[in-house]
Chains A and B, each alone.
Chain A
């Protein structure tokens, strides 16, 4: 379990996050939604240990994040950044292999190679294995990075859950690959992982997430099961757009139709 206890975070004097508390449970995909500047990426960075909260604490498996050794935590927690700049000409297969770093004892084993191949296949990237990373399109790069992250936590650790933190994993992807990426996230959750993903597309969130956290001006405006939280009034208030939730025949979750922008208060 990943738990946040009363997290506060400032950048200079500007308050980025305020009194955020909550728990992410294994087996569920949680979407992290909110307007630009609401603090989504910062919260993800606090969860990944890239930033440390000014007050409050983040716990993984009941242990404060800072008390984990870098290698130990990396064996069970993987983070997909919003974008990655890798200017050096590594072949794609080597980029994915970097995901195995926390597991290596000496050199790479055949098993590591198999895992990387399977992770690439998962993002429909097997044909890219021999290509040089800088020559890929931005969508292909994002898929390769996702494969690297999946390879990192391909197998469950001896004890405790796996954690998958994704920052806008679909931002550069075409429609089909958006679904591939989120299906992979779902698959990890079903296998017992804790999955948190920043998403701007509320319909994708509606389709793949079990829970949602909605951030507004650094505060957790709402959190819970996605169908209960993402109601018309909440979306209108937080996102400043007028929406209509359309029930879909044969589906339990509605489609969200945004109609127009509302005047900011």
Chain B
């Protein structure tokens, strides 16, 4: 459809511009007030060989090692969580599936915590073999396990039951919590503090190497998932209907779960659990552009990046007498009311 193609291009370009603008803002504002937009531009110009040789080392470090890693991680994690949310919502045929809400992120956390605490001991061999990949791989395994379980448990006669899905998520969240608690109780004070911060989400802990590892997992998934857009559209009709249309549903389900869980796992491994991005971004895109996955998936990814960039900006510059709020606090402050609004709407429509 001509009109749809045009709408898709315009929407994606607009969102790309938003990501660009927010990235620049995010790089220009922070606790170190001496580094603002002009300094950022100078550092970037110097990087690509356009003069500006007399920059202070602190300015250089602030931009390259503090601000830009955050920007890169916000873009990656936001895109991963939002696109995974959109894809899982399509798979579950249910707009309330959020990776954090239904326990996928908890599963990832559990996997990650296992690796953090046991990495020096029982799982030492794995860490040695996988190196920097050990954490993301463990997180992905946890995310995949939970996604698979929820998918199997929350379906009644081929349809995902909303209440069943949310309650299954609740139970799996609790189970993962118990597992995490057990691990934490065996950890040192230092590990505990890292964990507390991490459990609320933080973009500040990652260095370029970790971001590189996350990108290695997330970017291929971001490219691959939209390939299933049309199949996901057909799946919204129902599994039987999609089957009758020739959609290879087992294949599609397997890949969507695999790719979504891989993205969430990599994102959680890099920045902890950040909730509601996967719920809010696809919801806003659907409100404006409709539910077609050919637009929904890429647009959600870009909006997810924007939301996380904005949330990080607010977390670092919001004041409240602290240097920095955990980013998960900000996304929950915005996301939880949206989730409540969605629930109320579902209730009004009699979907419970």
Contact = CB atoms under 8 A, between A and B. Distances in A.
Interface in B71-118: 93, 95
Contacts of A71: 246
Interface in A169-221: none
A94 B244 CA distance: 17
Interface in A66-119: 69-75, 77-79, 81, 84-91, 94-95, 97-99, 101-102, 104, 107-108, 113
A56 interface: no
A81 B240 CA distance: 8
A165 B238 CA distance: 17
Contacts of A102: 245-246
With a 10 A CB-CB cut-off, give which of B1, B159, B245, B351 has the most chain A CB atoms: B245
A85 B290 contact: no
Contacts, number: 76
B342 to A, nearest CB: 12
A30 interface: no
A232 interface: no
B243 A49 contact: yes
B241 interface: yes
Contacts of B351: 87
With a 10 A CB-CB cut-off, give which of B5, B159, B237, B243 has the most chain A CB atoms: B237
A86 B240 contact: no
A186 B173 CA distance: 54
B246 A75 contact: yes
A52 interface: no
Interface in B216-267: 230, 233-234, 236-238, 240-241, 243-248
Nearest to A152: B245
Interface string A51-75: 0000000000000000001111111
A27 B243 CA distance: 25
Nearest to A134: B349
B324 interface: no
A142 interface: no
Interface residues of B, number: 24
B36 interface: no
Nearest to B291: A88
Interface string B18-51: 0000000000000000000000000000000000
Given A90-B290, A90-B291, A91-B290, A99 B245 contact: yes
Contacts of B234: 98, 101
A91 B7 CA distance: 15
B207 interface: no
A113 B1 contact: yes
Contact of B247 (A48, A86, A87, A101): A101
Interface in B321-352: 351
A50 interface: yes
B286 interface: yes
A69 B248 CA distance: 9
Contact of A84 (B237, B245, B246, B248): B237
Contacts of A69: 246
A84 B238 contact: yes
20 contacts: A69-B246, A72-B246, A73-B246, A74-B245, A74-B246, A81-B238, A81-B241, A84-B241, A85-B159, A87-B351, A88-B93, A90-B292, A91-B290, A98-B234, A98-B237, A101-B230, A101-B246, A101-B247, A107-B5, A108-B1
Interface of B: 1, 5, 93, 95, 159, 230, 233-234, 236-238, 240-241, 243-248, 286, 290-292, 351
Given A85-B93, A88-B236, A98-B237, 7 more contacts: A72-B246, A78-B244, A79-B241, A84-B237, A88-B93, A89-B290, A99-B245
